Amino acid sequence: MDRVDNSLIALRRIIRATELYGRDLKQIAGITAVQFRALQIIGEKGYATAKEVSTRMRVSQATVTSLVDKLVRENMVTREKSETDRRQTDICITEQGRDTLENAPDPLQQRFVRKFAAMEDWEQTMLQAMLERVASMMDAEDLDASPVLDTGDIKH
């Protein structure tokens, strides 16, 4: 009967771990988790519109504007008026932005990845299935998950 409770507690611990990691990242790498998420999205194709970032991160456009302001100040990205639709602004990643993307530390994921790799094959499969199950239990809509674990793609 308190399987639910224990499951929820575990969930809290997981979420908490990512929160704390976000704070570390800020201190260590000089970029915040949120800025990093935005940078990741921009980095995927090398550029992105504000709208796209806004939609994918699920924040308002105003928020994206101020986020991009900071990234511009830090020379991670540049703004360039779109040629095709002059209402749009392409936010383009710079060399330095790429650099940051590639070199940001990701101790949290590494910890996960390391332990994951150490598991038995069947256990990995099971874990994946379970996590996906929980995810669909918790997010109603079909969310774009990318903006969240704060920490870039996995480097194997």
Q: Token pair of 145, please?
A: 């998950």
Contact between 145 and a copy of itself per CB under 8 A? yes
Interface residue with a copy of itself among 45, 51, 58, 81 (CB under 8 A) is 58
CA distance 5 to 13: 12
Phi, psi of 139 (to 5 degrees): -100, 125
85 or 154: CB nearest a copy of itself: 154
Sign of the Cα pseudo-torsion (91, 92, 98, 99, in order): negative
Contact between 77 and DNA per CB under 7 A? no
By three-state DSSP, how is residue 25 classified?
A: helix
Contact between 60 and DNA per CB under 7 A? yes
Judged by CB under 7 A, which stretch of 77-85, 115-123, 127-135, 137-145 contacts DNA?
Answer: 77-85
47 or 116: CB nearest DNA: 47
Q: Token pair of 52, please?
A: 């796209």
Contact between 38 and a copy of itself per CB under 8 A? no
CA distance 67 to 91: 11
Q: Which residues are at the interface with DNA (CB under 7 A)?
A: 23, 32-35, 49-52, 54, 57-70, 79, 82, 85-89
